[in-house]
Structure 1
């Protein structure tokens, strides 16, 4: 019994912590990191739902009547949509984090090139002289 309570407390704390990280990343306007932490939140919720369904299935199997004519008890009180929606949301957030991460990486590379060109212009570095020194 204590293991079950501990599991519920830890999973709730994990989901709450990941949700808090998502909110903080959104506040800081880091969309790729926010999408990745939202993925982790949805994936954790999905695992918790599946764990509860497995527990329900185990209880239903152990408490099931031995006669074939009796109806089997329902495995879980949650509809299938509850399990599928968290899994699909996790997949969507994972794909969004990959796309947003690629966009962020590309923007950073462009900004670094622009900054390098700006600094070369400000400091008076001539590219033709730079190329001549590289040939030597």
Structure 2
């Protein structure tokens, strides 16, 4: 009975370690996820979500109290008005395979699908453990 309890505890402990380790992810994975989430928000024309994933001109994450918030929202709306989103379909999902990280900057060298018409250069910056689009595209 003792060995059975030990095996059960070991199994539970191993499962918990795997669960928490999977949730952390590498910096590369988290930067890619932030970039993909940003383009997902653009595809949904969700200006608030897209802007929450950006930094302001001061290098701080945007929220609706930030001085650059409205500029970002306007940038998303301008982008949405310039993209021909088909009535009966959606923009393709954006996914990236890799990102180059140097210090607290991540550069995605892969291009975004042409349907997005997103001609802006962008990098991601690490702020307080989270990755954000640098925000230069809307400023």
> TM range, normalised to the smaller chain?
under 0.3
> When the two structures are superposed, what TM-score results if normalisation uses the length of structure 1?
0.26
Larger fraction in strand: 2
- The structure with the greater share of residues assigned to helix is 1
